[in-house]
Amino acid sequence: MDSTTEIKNTNLTTLLKGKSGYLPCQFIEMAVREGIITSKVSIDPLQIQPVSLDLRLGQRAYRIQCSFLPENERVDNRLKDLTLYEFDITNGGILEKNAIYLIPLMEELKLPASFYGLANPKSSTGRLDMFTRVIVDDGHRFDEIPRGYRGGLYLEIIPRSFPVRVKTGLSLNQLRLAHVTSHTLGKQGLEIKYKNNPILFDRNGFSIPFDQVKVEGGVYVGVDVTGDQPDSIVAYKAKTNSNVIDLSKIRYYKPDEFWEPIYRPPRNRLILEPESFYIMMSKEKICIWPDWLAEMIAYEPNSGELRTHYAGFFDSGFGWNGTDDLVGQGTRAVMEVRPHDVPFMVEHGQTFCRLKFERVVERPDKVYGIELKSNYHSQGLALSKYFELD
């Protein structure tokens, strides 16, 4: 019996017996068929990514007084006390800058006892400086769906740099489901995998030897502030006053109306202004091989006064060119950066973030890239998909 026949004839929990890790797309499809993931509006196959599911905005938006965690209470009950007003977004609605909104999502979950979930913003959401996170009934942590959870999902949204227009059915975040537990690769396991399938590549496409990589709880990545040419743009800074961005319009807006380009600075160092939002790029190219899953971890507070990576999840296949070659792999990672409190100087190659790798139950049937028309597969310093390409 081949694996496809086995999947069709076996339920998901039985198929996963003795296995652990995140569910690839073929198992997410099973979870939909078996009613583990449900929605009154049918789930579109295009929502299913290699190791995640895009979640869609529902019909009502709630402007709330403050962020909250429901902890031992239903979200609906808390909303009664905290809602300033509500409005219908079926045909669109505007979310004002720095205001806090809560929108119920279309998808609901009926997780078996051995399943749990993690959510994170989509790349396009993070690159707009939109702070989003999921809460659930009785939940005491953001973006975490506890084992065996049965109920709805709610998305908190705070546009930081730009007012945005959203609409029912748009996807701003995504969900990963894990069975039993996920396994973070330790240094020894990471070394073995890295030597067979290197993760980091230089700008010429050559793999960086493992002994030249900083490894501690993952692989560390530096920031690029030189670019490839003397006149390269090395960052974009969000302008403080701009028009509304309609999130249903792709490749529509002119970048210079919303962003200030920052060119290669003298002495290869750049001073970031506090509470400004920047789009920057990794020095190294990154390849997430098809059987891997990676998460870019926010910069630790004891490493500097800045917050990086609103959206730091990398689907299987990010930066992979579809071959087993050890040369010519990799794509730059784009980083969302907001310094706090004081100006902060960054230099070329400075350690900026950490990639944590975790197990996927098995290789996804489809991977991130050209076949899926992925927006950021071969990116340089790329703004989100709502802006015109150069």
The CA R_g of the chain, rounded to the nearest whole Å, is 21
Residue 294 is encoded by which pair of tokens? 């990676």
Gap between the Cα atoms of 151 and 216, Å rounded: 37
CA angle 119/191/294 to nearest 5° reads 15
- For residue 45, count other CB atoms closer than 10 A to its CB: 9
| Closest to 235 in 3D by CA, of 254, 257, 259, 251 | 259
Residue 390 is encoded by which pair of tokens? 């150069």
What's this model's pTM, rounded to 2 decimal places? 0.91
Reading the chain (390 residues) residue by residue, the pLDDT tens digits are 445 555 555 789 889 988 889 999 999 999 999 999 999 999 999 999 999 999 999 999 999 999 999 999 999 999 999 999 999 999 999 999 999 999 999 999 999 999 999 999 998 999 999 999 999 999 999 999 999 999 999 999 999 999 999 999 999 999 999 998 766 677 888 898 899 999 999 988 899 999 999 988 889 999 999 988 888 999 999 998 889 999 999 999 999 999 999 999 988 999 999 999 999 999 999 999 888 888 887 655 455 556 655 557 888 888 888 888 888 899 998 888 988 888 989 999 998 888 888 889 999 998 876 554 545 445 578 899 999 987
Q: Which residues contact 364 (CB under 8 A, 6 or more apart)?
A: 24, 25, 26, 50, 51, 290, 316, 317
Q: Which residues contact 91 (CB under 8 A, 6 or more apart)?
A: 167
Which amino acid is residue 243, in one-letter code? N
Q: What is the pLDDT of residue 29?
A: 97
Gap between the Cα atoms of 232 and 122, Å rounded: 27
| Closest to 260 in 3D by CA, of 241, 246, 282 | 241
- For residue 371, count other CB atoms closer than 10 A to its CB: 11
Q: What is the pLDDT of residue 1?
A: 42
Task: Encode the chain in three state secondary structure.
Answer: CCHHHHHHHCCHHHHCCCCCEECCHHHHHHHHHCCCEECCCCCCHHHEECCEEEEEECCEEEEECCCCCCCCCCHHHHHHHHEEEEEECCCCEEECCCCEEEEEEEEEEECCCCEEEEEEECHHHHCCCEEEEEECCCCCCCCEECCCCEEEEEEEEEECCCCEEECCCCEEEEEEEEECCCCECCHHHHHHHHHHCCCEECCCCEECCHHHCCECCCEEEEEECCCCCCCCEEEEEECCCCCCEECCCCCCECHHHCEEEEECCHHHEEEECCCCCEEEEEEEEECCCCCEEEEEECCCHHHCCEEECCCCEECCCCCCCCCCCCECCCEEEEEEEEECCCCEEEECCCEEEEEEEEEECCCCCCCCCHHHCCCCCCCCCCCCCCECCC
Residue 388 is encoded by which pair of tokens? 């015109």
Gap between the Cα atoms of 55 and 125, Å rounded: 13
Gap between the Cα atoms of 255 and 235, Å rounded: 13
Domains, the chain = 3-179 (2.70.40.10), 187-372 (2.70.40.10)
Q: What is the pLDDT of residue 135?
A: 97
